[in-house]
Amino acid sequence: MDSAIVRSFPNAFSLTTGGNLWKSKQYSTKKIFNANCYASKVLEHKGRNQIGHGFWRLEQPTTLNHHYKCIGGRSTYHGCNRKYDVKATPRPPFDAGTNASDAKSILDYVKIFLITIHKLTIPVAAIARLSSMISASLLAVENLSDLSPLFLTGVLQIVVAYMFMEFYINGVNQLCDIEIDKINKPYLPFASGEISFRNGVIVVASCLTLSACFGLIIGSWPLIWCLLLSFLVWTGYSVNTSVFKRPATIPRSLICTIVFVTIYFVSLALFKDIPDIEGDKAHGINSLPARMGIKRAFWISISIFETAFGVALLAGATSSSSLWIKIASGLGHSILASILWYKATFVDLKSKASIASFYRFLWKIIGVKFHGVMKEI
């Protein structure tokens, strides 16, 4: 009995029968394909005299599957029977697959956007803000007839615009506090890693853009200012700002300076009305000097000036600066306060020129203060 194994390739195939090897270098037609050929034992069929018949099966690994059955003899060729089984599967065009993948990609982005918004929503805060907006809108309603479709449409527009701002506020706060939330609130989407930082930035920026677009489309200036102030306040609250790559801090010296300047300029504004008392009375303006009188208003103003210097003196004495800075600061403020009081005792309250001269002196005092009499505390 003979068995044969035939393996055909695009350019050649080999045939092994017993111990003989036949090679052909050329096996190609209009279509070239790979085939696996299997040999089986010779069987005898119903009185047919067939010797050494072999069974060869070739398969083409393409969209068309061809099966061949060939019968051949060892020395005599009797015939060849061929059977073809063709299976064709329609292949979708290339453009359809591309469009489907693009549509799937867009749907994935929309899905991520909606999921992220849902994760960023704090129900309690959202409900509270929604209730406040609706309540404020209802203040304008006097009769039931005011609840028109136009009114309800306006309320809906405001709610939509501000809800996107609400998503931005919650999102930017979580993005800036990821490391803190990993300890305090590990269940949040950014802290847990459920939503990537990149997707979070895209969604938060999109919510801010949509909120601004809705505000501009609606065209309500109160709404636009409300959205702008919400953006500035909550962004400043959440973002870790830095000055020259250092954390933004408010030193004690800055606080003391702000307090001093505030007190000093309040007194300066009060003193400015003293020379204008006659014109204020003529036009019915009830300024403090007009109600109290020139002399009383003048000394109240001087007392406030001295209070400002007293605050600066106390701040310098309790600062963490070196001793010589404390001494210099204390002496400087004491000298300025003494000079101011001394000059005040010589002011002629009946002369507008004298009052105006002292008013200019007050500006000189604050100028000296600004030029560094008080060292940073």
- What is the tens place of the pLDDT at every residue in 165-190? 888 988 888 888 888 888 888 888 88
Tokens 């020139």 label which residue?
294
Scanning the chain, the segments in alpha helix (DSSP H) are 94-120, 123-138, 149-176, 178-184, 189-192, 197-218, 221-238, 252-272, 277-282, 288-292, 294-317, 323-344, 352-368
Rounded CA separation 325/319 (Å): 9
pLDDT at 39 over 50: no
Tokens 């803000």 label which residue?
129
Which distant-in-sequence residues (6+ apart) come within 8 Å of 205 by Cβ? none
| Amino acid (1-letter code) at residue 112 | I
User: Sorting pLDDT into bands at 50, 70 and 90, what band is 146?
Assistant: confident
Domains and CATH numbers, the chain: 1-91 (no CATH), 94-246 (1.10.357), 252-373 (1.20.120)
Most confident of 185-194, 228-237, 363-372: 228-237
Instruction: Tell which residue, 196, 169, 204, 359, has the closest CA to residue 274.
Output: 359
Question: Which pLDDT value is given to residue 37?
Answer: 40
pLDDT at 125 over 60: yes
Kindly report, residue by residue over 196-231, the tens digit of the pLDDT. Answer: 888 888 888 988 999 999 889 988 888 899 899 989
Question: Which pLDDT value is given to residue 102?
Answer: 66
Which H or E run contains 295?
helix 294-317
Kindly give the interhelix angle for 149-176 and 123-138, rounded to the nearest 10 degrees. Answer: 150
Cross-strand pairs, 23: 14
More confident position, 175 or 55: 175
If DSSP codes are grouped into helix, strand and coil, which group holds residue 111? Answer: helix
User: Sorting pLDDT into bands at 50, 70 and 90, what band is 247?
Assistant: low
Widest CA span in the chain: 151
pLDDT at 155 over 50: yes
Mean pLDDT of 229-255: 74
Question: Which pLDDT value is given to residue 241?
Answer: 62
pLDDT at 86 over 60: no
Residue 326 main-chain phi, psi, to 5 deg: -65, -40
User: Sorting pLDDT into bands at 50, 70 and 90, what band is 302?
Assistant: very high
pLDDT at 85 over 70: no
Tokens 């089984």 label which residue?
85
Cross-strand pairs, 16: 5, 21
Residue 231 main-chain phi, psi, to 5 deg: -60, -45
For all residues of the chain together, what is the average pLDDT?
A: 72
